[in-house]
Structure 1
Amino acid sequence: MIAHLGMYDRPETAEANDRFWALIRTHLGRGPDQLTRGADFWEVWKSPELLLSQTCGCPYRTRLYGEVELAGTPDYGLPGCPAGYYNSVFIARSADAGQPLSAFAGRRFAYNEGLSQSGWAAPMVHMHDRSILPGALVETGGHSLSAQAVAEDRADFAALDALTWELVKAHDGFAEGLTEIERTEPTPALPYITALGQNPQTLFAAIEAAIRGLDEDTRNLLHLKGLVQIAPSDYLAVPTPPGPVLTEQRIRAA
């Protein structure tokens, strides 16, 4: 069986995630001794051996729906978001503080990957609704890497999920050179998933009990406030914009 909590796993949160999984395993009464790390996310998500992982809303609605079960959505207590929801934060260099998002039309936009809800889908829908088109796309492979690309002037702005932005501000020195520009509308946050054939209700109960049982420092480090149930239909209702290839064509044609 596979247990994997890689979405917000970084050196500063790794031990906290280990404690979280240990409590989930205790309440569940089964599961691997240790979390899987370093594996390909898609291989984990599609594995019939998957006991627990966390995915993003965009991969879920575009490729994983019908192939996995939802086992609850964590509530991170993010500002301006209902329980179990999150949003994207547009960030830029501090020299651009106070600029409206419209000022970034025609400038370099860093994104983690084209199947990211918070790094691609939400910001692209947000910009499209405001007739804002970037001038170039810079794919980075990760939210923190997008923020770093902006800090190092390899891009002019980016969109990070709101929890990653909190982690970047807390743990990455380059965040001192960044500023928040604007936020998107909230959408359902990253759900916990399990393979078909597993019991999502049992997992939900174990995760919920584990969150309650964590010590305060660990809960705060992981930003965990609780667990909610969000229907698959709520994830499927979130709009999916054109991907990077079609967007680059629009940029070249503009």
Structure 2
Amino acid sequence: MSATAFVAALPMYDWPEVQTDNDRFWNKLRESLRAHGFPAPDRMQRDVPESDLWQHPDLVLGQTCGLPLVRDLMQKVRVVGTPAYDIACGAGSYYSVMVVHRDSAIEKISDLKGKRFAYNSLCSQSGYAAPAYHLREIAGATPIFSSKVQSGSHRGSIRMVAGNEADVASIDAVAWRLAERHEEAAKELRVLATTEPMPGLPVICARRAEWSNDRMHLAVVEAMAALEPEVAEALLLTGFAPLCDSDYAIIQRHAEIADKVSL
């Protein structure tokens, strides 16, 4: 089976500073996937919108966010497993950090009322749904924040808070660790709160009957085991947890509650 028409991508943490490391990771994944009989393409896609990649009928391997998974993708993809990252959280889990400017007078969650909120995307678990759920106890009949602005990325949200264009943002814990290493604006911020751990960003593939999930999971595990230590460290990778579709039901339940919170 030719790999020409098939696609793969790891877009969620593909910061410019670690793209070379992600390419080296893909090289290991490609070799392992092919050894297990999967049509892995030579290179990852970086010029196709994430939503198009996630729904591509020939997606061999990709990574998505838990919120679009439960809302839009569950009938189109399979969860292969979930990477574990060096973020002091259970394997396959992650959380968000709610950050404010280091000089801000904000000291507790209730201080956020009337402040300006920056978020990466409305379909982001870590950037929008998680903080909405976390703030549900201070929500009322009127919106919590005086304004909300979509930054387009976690990195963009960090820069907005650092530049006093927003007062608070909620950042994926893995993205925050990358920001601490690679983003100058992160030095201007401090963590106000952390949200409840949830299933992390799953690795997915197209829902094709001829593809064995167990075999694909094994291919990813073997690729990670063969990964150079410096690459794993750069990408914060520590393992690959055997999460499946049903593990993400908690995100759906929390999202239903978060949807009722007026940010």
After TM superposition, the score normalised by the length of structure 2 is 0.89
CA contact (8 A) 2:121 2:151 kept: yes
Give the partner amino acid of 1:138: V
CA contact (8 A) 1:97 1:181 kept: no
C-alpha distance in structure 2 between counterparts of 1:44 and 1:225, whole Å: 25
Counterpart of 1:13? 18
1:116 aligns with 2:116: no
1:66 aligns with 2:75: yes
Equivalent of residue 103 in structure 1, options 102, 111, 116: 111
Counterpart of 1:51? 60
Once the two structures are TM-superposed, the CA of residue 138 in structure 1 deviates from its matched residue by 1.0
Tell me, which stretches of 5 or more residues in structure 2 are unaligned?
Answer: 1-5
Equivalent of residue 221 in structure 2, options 194, 203, 208: 208
Once the two structures are TM-superposed, the CA of residue 98 in structure 1 deviates from its matched residue by 6.9
C-alpha distance in structure 2 between counterparts of 1:195 and 1:123, whole Å: 30
The more displaced of 105-114 and 91-100 is 91-100
Give the partner amino acid of 2:115: R
Once the two structures are TM-superposed, the CA of residue 202 in structure 1 deviates from its matched residue by 2.0
CA contact (8 A) 1:89 1:181 kept: yes
Counterpart of 1:229? 242
Give the partner amino acid of 1:85: S
C-alpha distance in structure 1 between counterparts of 2:137 and 2:65, whole Å: 22
C-alpha distance in structure 1 between counterparts of 2:79 and 2:218, whole Å: 13
Paired residues for 1:112-151 under 5 Å: 112-131=120-139, 133-151=144-162
Deviation track 1:155-200 (CA, whole Å, cap 9, x = no partner) reads 0000000000001110011111111111001000000000011332
Tell me, which stretches of 5 or more residues in structure 1 are unaligned?
Answer: none
Deviation track 1:4-52 (CA, whole Å, cap 9, x = no partner) reads 0010001111011111111111111141111100211111010101001
CA contact (8 A) 2:84 2:238 kept: yes
After TM superposition, the score normalised by the length of structure 1 is 0.92
Counterpart of 2:3? none
C-alpha distance in structure 2 between counterparts of 1:222 and 1:16, whole Å: 7
The count of aligned residue pairs is 247
Counterpart of 2:174? 163
CA contact (8 A) 2:96 2:170 kept: yes
Give the partner amino acid of 1:105: K
Deviation track 1:41-76 (CA, whole Å, cap 9, x = no partner) reads 111010101001000000000110111011110000
Once the two structures are TM-superposed, the CA of residue 243 in structure 1 deviates from its matched residue by 7.8
SS of 2:192's partner is strand
CA contact (8 A) 1:87 1:185 kept: yes
